[in-house]
Amino acid sequence: MPGIVTKAIFPVAGMGTRFLPATKAAPKEIMTLVDRPLIQYAIDEARAAGIREFIFVTARGKSALEDYFDRAPELENLLKEKGRDDLLDILQPTNMDSGAIAYIRQNRPLGLGHAVWCARRLIANEPFAVILPDDVIAAEKPCLQQMVEAYETTGGSMVAAMEVPPEHVSAYGVLDVKQDMGAMVSVRGMVEKPAPGSAPSSLAVIGRYILSPHVLDNLNRIGAGAGGEVQLTDAIAEEISSGRDVYGLRFRGQRFDCGSKAGFLRATVAFGLARDDLRDDLSRYLAELGPGRHGAPPG
């Protein structure tokens, strides 16, 4: 019977250079999608999946993440004095219990696999999840919860996967499918950022994983892969070579790549339209733009 997944790693050491100058002084993960920072969406998804221990792999300049998840007594007292219980309720999910969250430094930018490896001593010999906050997923049932429920039957290691157009597969880790069972596939191999025309499928890995602790042993052994970085995909592929099971789950939901400006804007519109308090105003504005018209900021 597979172990219970209670720990999740959040790799948040990246510089966020695609969002400069906004990320010059604030971590990209604190940037707000409507009125919640990206990292809050990731934490809420993890909580819904039963995660109880949260491990952040950070770097220099990320202290705002620690402050965000700490209590703010002066702010809370001010809101209490003003009788703003509604705003106190909004703050509640941002407060993490003492000991529930840990911060580890990745002191060199050696890739996602290296970031996960940095947390090895806190994982020990347990299955664990990895969540990339750049990938925001709108779903009726949160993506990681879907994966945890499937993992309870399959065990092994599991990645979230989605179909992508053939011209885009070279930007992803891609699955070589052994058996397609509909929502679930068993995997015979994985290729990180295949050259155009060489991908084994159009089923790409996105930023949600449930991994066996054996993956950490694999990360100890493998060297740099694509792009000169330690690739998590390569360590998962080692599981297959060792005869252990790896699965891909076609999750139900829509993924937004908030690591790009265009993806962030698409997510902002989609999440805004999903809000009862914003939908009407935003819909009117989009209708006013009309076909072929483009909004422009003042000045």
Assign 296 a pLDDT band (cuts: 50, 70, 90).
low
Please name the residues in contact with 52: beta carbons below 8 A apart, sequence gap of 6 or more. 6, 7, 100
Distance CA 219, CA 212 (A): 12
Compute the radius of gyration of the chain from its Cα atoms.
20
pLDDT tens by residue, 221-271: 876 665 667 789 889 989 998 889 999 999 999 999 999 999 999 999 999
Q: What is d(CA 18, CA 95) in angstroms, rounded to the nearest whole number?
A: 29
Give the pLDDT confidence score for residue 272 in this predicted structure: 95
Euclidean distance between CA atoms 176 and 200, whole angstroms: 5
**β-strands 157-163, 53-58 pairing:** unpaired
The pLDDT of residue 107: 84
Alpha-carbon torsion angle 219, 225, 227, 230, nearest 10: 10
214, two tokens? 């054996």
Phi then psi for residue 194, to 5 deg, are -65, 150
pLDDT band for position 158 (cuts 50, 70, 90):
very high
Check pLDDT > 80 for residue 24. Answer: yes
d(CA 274, CA 141): 15
Q: What is the pLDDT of residues 78-96, one digit of tens each?
A: 989 888 988 988 888 888 8
Phi-psi domain of 141 (left: phi exceeds 0; alpha: psi -120 through 50; beta: other): beta
Q: What is the pLDDT of residues 270-288, one digit of tens each?
A: 999 999 999 999 999 999 8
Check pLDDT > 70 for residue 295.
no
Residue pointed to by tokens 């999608």: 33
At residue 88, what are phi and psi to the nearest 5 degrees? -65, -40
Q: What are phi and psi of 48, to 5 degrees?
A: -65, -25
Q: What is the pLDDT of residue 68?
A: 85
Q: How far, in Å, CA of 145 to CA of 229, rounded?
A: 29
CA-to-CA separations, 246 to 152, 156, 174, 189, 254, in angstroms, rounded = 14, 6, 13, 9, 23
Question: Does the pLDDT at position 297 exceed 60?
Answer: no
pTM of the model: 0.89
Q: Give me the DSSP letters along 136-151.
A: EEE-SS-HHHHHHHHH
Structural domains of the chain ordered from first start: 7-259 (3.90.550.10)
Average model confidence (pLDDT) for the chain? 88
Using one digit for the tens of pLDDT, what is the confidence trace for 173-201?
889 999 999 899 999 988 888 887 888 88
Q: What is the DSSP string of 82-102?
A: TT-HHHHHHHGGG---TTSEE
